[in-house]
Every structure is written in C-alpha cells, then in structure tokens.
Structure 1
Amino acid sequence: MKHLLLGFIFGISLSFISWIVGMIVNSILMKTEYYNKLSNLNFIENKGLNKTIGLTYFKWAVKNTFFKFFNQKLKVDSKSTDLAQLRNDMIYSEISHLIGFIFVTFFAIFKSFEVGFIFGLTMMIPNILMNLYPSLLQQENKRRIDRILKIKTVANKV
C-alpha cells in the first residue's frame, strides 16, 4: 500500500516537472527537420476507440474544471480565430506532452526496478492522465481543425 500511494504522488510530481522538460525539448526539436513529421502524428484515429478509452470524459474534465485555465491559447474564442495558428499551438502542446510522457515512462521503468513494480506502475497513472490523454485530445482536436480548414479551402476555390 505504501508503494501504491508513494508511486502515485511521485508520478504526479514528476508529471508536472515533465511538462517543463517537454516544452524545453520541444523547443529544441522545432528547429529540426523531424518536427514536421512529428506534427502529423495520429495514434488513435477511430472516434469509437477514443470514446472507449474515456477521452470524451477527459475532454469534459478539461473543459469544465480548473484544467481549462492551464493553456489559454488552445481555445476558439470566436469565428475570427486563426485556425492555422491554433493548430500549430496544439501541435506544440501535443508534442510537449508526448515528450513528457516518455520522460516519466523512463523514470517509471527505472523506479520499477529500483523500488518495485507497483511503485513504477502507479507512477504511470498520473502520467497517462497528465501527459498521454492531453496529447491524444490535441490529436483529436487537430483532426477536427483539419476538417474545417479543408472545407474552408474547398469553399474558397469555388
């Protein structure tokens, strides 16, 4: 029980730290040729699977709790919102969270051997909720923006 609680608390702490690590590494990655490839990641394209893993509930929590105050750049205020810029901001957030997820995962694997499997496993719970799910949500929102931008492009050609 001790490892369960301590792993969870350590996972929360490390996940917050991983956000900063993710932003720093992402800022460096932006200057490479690989960044364009990373900007088109899509792990789960199936809406049904997103719903099955609880992304709908996570989306509700982000929109209706204190999480909505975390990244104010990632919201549509009006019809005049620059969707291309919003998409770029989402890509930055998505990749930063993925880097953070990988960062904490390495720590969880290390701590699984050093402290115990339960400790490492419970570290992954906050990591999934604070890094993986936000990244998956950004991917879903990015796909929605892509559909809107595609419709606007077709409408402008007509």
Structure 2
Amino acid sequence: MKKAAILVLIVIVTIAVTCALIKFLKIESFAFAWALNFMLMGSALLFTETLKSPLTSSYFNEKAWERRGKIYESFGVNFFRKLLVWTGWEKLIRKANPIERNTKALMHLHYQTKQSELGHLILLIIVFGFNVFVALKFGMLKSLSLLILNILFHLYPILLQRYNRPRIERAINVSKRRARGTLVS
C-alpha cells in the first residue's frame, strides 16, 4: 500500500512540475524541451527504483534480428557510446555504479539495463506526445528540439541497453562457469 501511494505521489508531482514548466516556459522552446526531459528522467528513475519490478517480460530478451547487435551498430550505437564518454556521462555513471567482475554485480548491472530501458521507453513515448502536440500547434520546426532531445536522451539509451544486455548475459554465463570450475577443483 505504501509503495502504491509513493508511486501515485511521484506521478502527481511529475504532472504538477510538467504543468509548471508549461506555464513558465514556452512549450515550443529548447529550454522547455531540455527541462522536460531532465525532469522526466528524474521522475522515471524515482518511479522505477520505487517499483522494483523483477522485469521478467520477454520484451527484454534478445530477439533473433538483434543477434550480435549489428542492427544497433548500423544506427550508430558505438558513436553514442563514445559521446557518453566524451561528455563525461559514462564516468559519472561508473563512479556511482562501478562494474565489478563477479556474478552478483553483473546480474545487478543486467537488471539495471532493463530498468533503464523501461524508464527511457516510457519517456520516449511521453516526450513524443509533446513533440506531436508542438508540431501540430506550432509547426515541425518548433518541435525539432523536442524531437532531437528525445532521440538523444531516450531512443539511443534504449538502443544502447538492448545492445549491451546480451553482452552482459554472456559475461554472467562465463562468470557462473568460472565459479562452478572453482568449486569443482
């Protein structure tokens, strides 16, 4: 009951802050697009951390067409990874969540990719809704900042999580085999 109340409160506060952004910033402005995306990312993080769902849906499983991540590489996911390093985002994330070389840490990282992907997927849809509204009301040109930031802040992180998760799964399997080998010896 407490968790549900917290989740509802997060949604209510997010809606209230979004309304404040609409009131104080021009909805077609870059400032609005920037503030909306970061506010929603904070809200999504709070929401998914509070939800703590096991995220066992088959949606998160690697699909046949995704094998080896070639599709994501063709969309420039490796460039996006370099961009995250260049901007310092990767260093900031790794400082807060260092990658350790043990099965438990790898399994936690695997879960975090699902959690991150879910949050970004929800935000991709929400920001796309704002994008369509602004495009219809003010024109496509005025909605470009929403579109570009939505692609950078949500679509590419989703692609990156889907690209990384199978690699993490392979590392987990190797780690488990090593642990069994150590126990057998």
TM range (shorter): 0.7 to 0.9
5+ long unaligned stretches in structure 2? 1-27
The structure 2 residue matched to 1:26, chosen from 38, 48, 51, is 48
Q: Distance in 2 between matches of 1:18 and 1:41?
A: 26
TM-score by length of 2: 0.66
- The answer on whether the counterparts of 1:15 and 1:130 sit within 8 Å (CA) in structure 2 is yes
The structure 2 residue matched to 1:51, chosen from 49, 73, 78, is 73
Bigger Cα Rg: 2
Q: Deviations over 1:42-99 (max 9, x none)?
A: 58725222122111100111123222244334542x4347101111222222211222
- The answer on whether the counterparts of 1:39 and 1:91 sit within 8 Å (CA) in structure 2 is no
- The answer on whether the counterparts of 2:120 and 2:157 sit within 8 Å (CA) in structure 1 is yes
| Equivalent residue number for residue 115 of structure 1 | 138
Please report the RMSD computed on the Cα atoms of aligned residues, expressed in angstroms: 2.9
5+ long unaligned stretches in structure 1? 1-5
Identity in percent: 25
Greater relative contact order structure (CA < 8 Å, 6+ sep): 1
Identify the structure with the greater helix proportion: 2
Q: Distance in 1 between matches of 2:38 and 2:44?
A: 10
User: Does residue 15 in structure 1 map to residue 37 in structure 2?
Assistant: yes
Amino acid in structure 2 at the alignment position of 1:124: L
TM-score by length of 1: 0.75
| Equivalent residue number for residue 130 of structure 1 | 153
- The answer on whether the counterparts of 2:131 and 2:143 sit within 8 Å (CA) in structure 1 is yes
| Superposed structure 1 runs of 4+ greater than 6 Å apart | none
